[in-house]
Amino acid sequence: MDIPRIFDISESAHRIHNPFTPEKLATLGAALRLEPGTRVLDLGSGSGEMLCTWARDYGIGGMGIDMSRLFTEKAKLRAEELGVADRVEFIHGDATGFVAEEKVGVAACVGATWIGGGVAGTIDLLARNLLSGGIILIGEPYWLQLPPTEEVARACRAGSISDFRLLPELLMSFANLDYDVVEMVLADQDSWDRYEAAKWLTMRRWLESNPDDDFATAVRAELTSAPQRHAAYTREYLGWGVFALMSPQWHRAARAPVMLASDRLSARASARMPLARPRGAAARPGRASTGSSCSTPTSSRTWSAIRAGRWRMRSPGRARPASA
């Protein structure tokens, strides 16, 4: 079980696998006013930079799960390097349907919402890991401006225009799922450059070291096309941000007026611009997709067994006893 090789190659030198800089990650941690000792769960934790630096800077503890063997090893090394290995743990595995035994104060999925079958399903999955009054973090792209054609959307690496929303629509979609947006930190063009342009030198160096590798042609093609594509499309059309969400369920008394206000806002905005929705999603995606997104959950007991080394992952979403 691993991710496509192009990511392992092009992002092997990245500490953050998203259009965020270390400064933006620190800003997000500070914005959340994290209390020392808060437990953070990170699904798709990459090379572990969020958990490791927040453990160092804000005294949190927690667990990250990632499907890349390489990134997970990097995360463990980073935890050692920053002296936080006793507080943060990294597991190589498929986070689909992951529900921990212990609920956490912050449950995050930063740039990997396919893990829950989309934004709504991922929020639902994270909510199942969350203590009452806790915070959900979702990292997700949005359109800075709507692409004029489907071809432009695909050049931004979207499947289609309807895969993403404009920022106000994305924020509205969280409200429609009954969540309050309580914070957000957004990428900008410079932080996109740090994510995308940092791949180019890594790919170039890899090509120099591996000229005869079977994968060299693919990496060469990517290196040749990526700078122009980034400048013309991603940098101009795609935004990205991390959104902090809290469920108002535990605080229902304050909910009614907020709903009325946001519904009026929603009605006005909808009149100006129709909501773009992912293909096949219903008008209230949380309600529609929640069930199917967690249809093959890996139980917490199974995850305990994986962590104890009694089971091993074979393919995404499935685990088998180590002796099998």
Under the rule (CB under 6 A), what is the footprint of ligand SAM?
A: 3, 16-18, 44-46, 49, 65-68, 71, 94-96, 110-112, 115, 316
Closer CB to ligand SAM, residue 71 or residue 142?
71
Q: How far is the CB of 261 from ligand SAM (least distance, A)?
A: 33
Closer CB to ligand SAM, residue 65 or residue 238?
65
Closer CB to ligand SAM, residue 73 or residue 178?
73
Q: How far is the CB of 81 from ligand SAM (least distance, A)?
A: 16
Q: How far is the CB of 272 from ligand SAM (least distance, A)?
A: 32
Closer CB to ligand SAM, residue 95 or residue 161?
95
Which own/partner pairs from 247-252 qualify as long-range (CB within 8 Å, at least 24 positions apart)? 247/127, 247/130, 247/136, 247/178, 247/179, 247/180, 248/178, 248/179, 248/180, 249/178, 250/132, 250/133
Q: How far is the CB of 114 from ligand SAM (least distance, A)?
A: 7
Closer CB to ligand SAM, residue 194 or residue 284?
194
Amino acid letter, residue 209: S
d(CA 35, CA 62): 13
Closest CB to ligand SAM: residue number: 46
Q: How far is the CB of 149 from ligand SAM (least distance, A)?
A: 25
Q: How far is the CB of 87 from ligand SAM (least distance, A)?
A: 18
Note whether 116 and 125 are within 8 A (CB).
Answer: yes
Closer CB to ligand SAM, residue 139 or residue 172?
139
Closer CB to ligand SAM, residue 172 or residue 319?
319
Note whether 237 and 145 are within 8 A (CB).
Answer: yes
State the DSSP H helix or E strand holding residue 184, giving kind and residue range, or none if neither.
strand 180-186
Tokens of 148: 């004029």
Question: What DSSP line would sit under 133-158, residue for residue?
Answer: EEEEEEEEEEESS--SSHHHHHHTT-
Note whether 323 and 314 are within 8 A (CB).
Answer: no
Amino acid letter, residue 297: P
d(CA 199, CA 158): 19
**What phi and psi, each to the nearest 5 degrees, are found at residue 266?**
-60, -40
Note whether 5 and 216 are within 8 A (CB).
Answer: no
Give 188: exposed, middle or buried? Use CB within 10 Å, 0-12, 13-18, 19+: middle
Q: How far is the CB of 191 from ligand SAM (least distance, A)?
A: 12
Q: How far is the CB of 13 from ligand SAM (least distance, A)?
A: 13
Closer CB to ligand SAM, residue 49 or residue 266?
49
